[in-house]
Amino acid sequence: MDSYTKLARCYDIFMDDTPYDKWLEFVLNIFERYDVPKELVLDLGCGTGTFTRMLAKKGYDMIGVDNSCEMLQIAMSKNDEDGSDILYLLQDMREFELYGTVRAVVSVCDSINYLLSDEDVLATFKLVENYLDKDGIFVFDFNTVYKYSEVIGDCTIAENRDDYSFIWENFYSDEDRINEYDLTIFSKEGDLYSKSSETHLQRGYTLDQMEQFIKQAGLEFLEASDADSGENVSDKSERIHIVARCVKPKMRYKED
């Protein structure tokens, strides 16, 4: 899961058309529907902290967890810029640790797809369940098998910006449902460009699989929707939003 090294410094540039505002509206509507107060929320796989900061500006006390030191350095630099006090933790989502429970956990932009086995997903979801308050909400998205196999698998994407360019080559394996994409980045330095490369692996999942993982982790599945249309999930849904809930009460220790 060690990715986002060279990509980190230009990640926000290449992601400037990501529908963060749409995702924010969806998450806020879920929080309102399920009575999530403006208390402590964990952003799992927070990257450079864009979505974390958006929730913080809406009044939520945020923690961000990510496995990339380079991405978190950028996230923390944004704290310095605007005086935010978001806590960022360099941790693997399969083994993350918090000091206490949270009211909600969010994970957007297909962070869950970086979990490459059933065991990894289940381990992560069990930790989510462990650190959620009773009735706490887990909201996440994931890319489907359909998206990798029929939409982006085995295709090449290229983009050119003023100071950065990239070539993104996809290689999808039906056997293990893993999509490998080799990313080549060209960064402008003066009149010249430097070249760097890194490889990312993501695994496609189905809604049925995610429902099973949720139940096995002790969470309650609440709803799913097509993340692009907002409608019911179909066989051609590329990204799916899922909402789950913690149903078990958690231990509380009284202060002396």
Residue 13 predicted with pLDDT over 90:
no
Domain residues for the domain of 191 are 147-202
Question: Looking at the structure, do residues 110 and 232 belong to the same domain, yes or no?
Answer: yes
Mean pLDDT, range 67-85, rounded to an integer? 88
What would the mean pLDDT of 250-256 be, rounded to a whole number?
51
Write out the H or E segment, with its range, that includes residue 255.
none
Report pLDDT for 16. 76
Is there a single domain that holds both residue 27 and residue 72? yes
Strand stretches in the chain, DSSP E: 40-44, 61-66, 87-90, 102-107, 132-143, 156-160, 164-173, 178-189, 192-203, 219-226, 239-246
Q: What average pLDDT score do residues 215-222 get?
A: 98
* pLDDT tier at 253, thresholds 50, 70, 90: very low
Q: Quote the pLDDT of residue 204.
A: 97
Q: Per-residue confidence at 10, pLDDT binned at 50, 70, 90?
A: low
The pLDDT of 230-239, averaged and rounded, is 97
Q: What is the pLDDT of residue 113?
A: 97
Q: What percent of the chain has pLDDT over 70?
A: 92
| Domain's final residue, options 171, 187, 202 | 202
Burial 3-27 (b: 16+ CB within 10 A, else e): bbebbbbbbbebeeeeebeebbebb
For the chain, give the percent of residues with pLDDT over 90.
Answer: 72
N- to C-terminal Cα distance for the chain? 42
Residue range 3-23: mean pLDDT, rounded: 75
Say yes or no: 106 and 183 in one domain. Answer: no
Average pLDDT over residues 171-181: 94
Judgement on whether residues 152 and 108 belong to the same structural domain of the protein: no
| The predicted structure's pLDDT at residue 196 | 81
Q: Of residues 62 and 18, which shows the higher confidence score? A: 62
pLDDT of residue 5: 55
In this structure, are 75 and 115 located in the same domain?
Answer: yes
Averaged pLDDT, 226-255: 87
Supply the mean pLDDT for the chain. Answer: 91
Residue 115 banded pLDDT, cuts 50, 70, 90? very high
Total domains, the chain: 2
100 and 168: one domain?
no
Task: Tell me: do 117 and 212 sit in the same domain.
Answer: yes
Distance (Å, whole) CA 238 – CA 165: 26
| Residue 186: pLDDT over 50 | yes
What's the pLDDT band for 206 if we cut at 50, 70, 90? very high
Residues 123 and 237 in one domain: yes
176: three-class secondary structure by DSSP: coil
- List pLDDT tens digits, range 141-174: 999 999 999 999 889 988 887 777 888 899 999 9
- Identify whether 1 is part of a domain: no
pLDDT confidence band for 202 (50 / 70 / 90): very high
Q: What is the dihedral of CA 56, 57, 59, 65, to 10 degrees?
A: 0
Q: So what's the pLDDT on residue 256?
A: 44
- Report the CATH number that the domain containing residue 180 is assigned in CATH: 2.20.25.110
